[in-house]
Amino acid sequence: MDELKVLLTRQQIAAKVAELGERITADFAGEAVLLIGVLKGATIFLADLARQIKLDVSFDFIAVSSYGNARQQSGEVRLVKDVDRSVEGKNIILVEDILDTGLTLTYIRNLLQAHRPKALKIAALLDKASRRTEDIQGDYVGFQIPDEFVVGYGLDFAEHYRNLPDVCVLESGSITA
Ligand code: IMP
Ligand code: MG
């Protein structure tokens, strides 16, 4: 059995997501925003965040795969699914579950930037700043967390645990992949 320890409760997450939604609403007052979620980890965060933004909001999704096993990235990111519609001239908020090394969001940000959005911001529920290798930071960050492997609220370990309502630490002794 894997051992799970609650790091962030659903109540803490809900309060923080509401706060981020308010900030986004204020920052883009009177404008439309396009949330682009990174599949699959960002889906739950995106669904909750979208409902806290009191603006004209649309969704799109992007999917990337990174080589390496569940915990170790090789540094190579590949686009698996592009956005469905053009981002040119739009206010884009890239929505991701966690900023870790920053490789994934650096790759996606550069890709989208080439299509000249009006604004391009990053919303990340979690930030493991101590692991960063790339020069990138979130504009709307929920929580700074220590360098531990977490699951729940969209985050997975080998596709499991995405549906946990709280963000939990998966104790390292139980990780075998
Ligand atoms: P980065 O490219 O290193 O910033 O990694 C971002 C991706 O790694 C995230 O989208 C997650 O899929 C995955 N990731 C990083 N840390 C964790 C974690 O603690 N739990 C689950 N997935 C993680
Ligand atoms: Mg992910």
First to last CA, the chain: 14
Cα distances from 12 to residues 75, 140, 157, in angstroms, run 32, 16, 22
SS3 163: coil
CB neighbour list of residue 107: distance below 8 Å, 6 or more residues apart: 64, 77, 79
Give the C-alpha separation, 32 to 120, whole Å. Answer: 13
| Residue 27 and residue 137 in contact, taking contact as beta carbons nearer than 8 Å | no
Residue recorded with tokens 């002794």: 173
**Which pLDDT score is estimated for 93?**
98
The number of the ligand 1 atom at minimal distance from the alpha carbon of 134 is: 4
**Which pLDDT score is estimated for 68?**
63
Residue recorded with tokens 């965060």: 45
**Ligand 1 binding site (Cβ under 6 Å of any ligand atom):** 41, 73, 96-104, 149-151, 155
CA of 53 from ligand 2 middle (Å) equals 22
CA-based diameter of the chain, in Å?
Answer: 50
pLDDT tens for each residue of 12-68: 999 999 999 999 999 999 999 999 999 999 999 999 999 999 999 999 999 999 876
* Confidence (pTM): 0.94
